[in-house]
Structure 1
């Protein structure tokens, strides 16, 4: 659903005179909803997206996360206690960096999950289609006559 459609739906809900939306109808001839630009819908597009995550995003996030770790560690050390005194910023930076590291790990985990899902979507659809065909074949009595 495009954002324009969503805006139309929202404005229709706000308008008490607008006709209600019906979902109990067949899709128009030629297919259902329109295509969304940039949406990876084909298997090659999904594989390309998974490859982009693997080759560009994950290494970039890991690299930039390590760079940030080195920079923050140097700042924590610089602001740290010397001769028994230090800046409060040192502890705050350390805590902020711990949060940053958790977020980087979560982002890397999310990217890995998305990459895996993109890689297996075609297989899942194919398995579902085979399963449904098998179930329908068992229940069908068309070939018995």
Structure 2
């Protein structure tokens, strides 16, 4: 996109871009409810472990039972089933993969929340040790 085109689009939209100012009070990034203290991170990890993971698994199991029964019912016992049966089975397989991926993601997020404090503390200690190393100039 050419600069003159960008200028025209910007003028038409009424958008203003100003980089010579401080971020608004309370910070300019992230959401206000971002868990940033160790206690908040622990609470978020516990919420994932106690609510999100079990509830997601329970919902997945419930869907598994009802979808399986529906696929069987539509398949027909004489080999003359509905086209809905294989389509529903295929859709359910895709949904199962998504639930499995979601469960993996929840586990990863829970682990990351619990390990962040340790990681940051270890990084701080490492940086502190590197900055405190003696220099050849210290004895001068």
Q: 1:14 aligns with which of 5, 10, 14?
A: 10
Q: 1:100 aligns with which of 95, 115, 129?
A: 95
State the distance in 2 between where 1:69 and 1:140 align.
65
Q: 1:131 aligns with which of 97, 109, 126?
A: 126
Aligned residues: 128
State the distance in 2 between where 1:17 and 1:92 align.
47
Evaluate the alpha carbon distance shift between residue 19 and residue 45 of structure 1 in structure 2; reply closer, same or farther with a 3 A threshold: closer
Q: 2:34 aligns with which of 39, 52, 71?
A: 39
| Runs of 5+ consecutive residues of structure 1 not aligned to the other structure | 1-12
- Per the normalisation by structure 1, the TM-score is 0.76
User: Are 1:120 and 2:118 counterparts?
Assistant: no
CA deviation vs aligned residue, 1:97-116 (integer Å, no higher than 9, x gap): 10011000000000000000
Evaluate the alpha carbon distance shift between residue 68 and residue 32 of structure 1 in structure 2; reply closer, same or farther with a 3 A threshold: closer
CA deviation vs aligned residue, 1:70-106 (integer Å, no higher than 9, x gap): 0100100110122220000000010011001100000
State the distance in 1 between where 2:15 and 2:61 align.
57
The residue aligned with 1:6 is: none
SS at match of 1:128: helix
SS at match of 2:133: helix
Q: 2:53 aligns with which of 54, 58, 63?
A: 58
- 1:21, distance to aligned residue in structure 2 (A): 1.7
User: Are 1:79 and 2:74 counterparts?
Assistant: yes
- Per the normalisation by structure 2, the TM-score is 0.79
| Runs of 5+ consecutive residues of structure 2 not aligned to the other structure | 1-8
Q: Cα RMSD between the aligned structures?
A: 2.9
SS at match of 1:117: helix
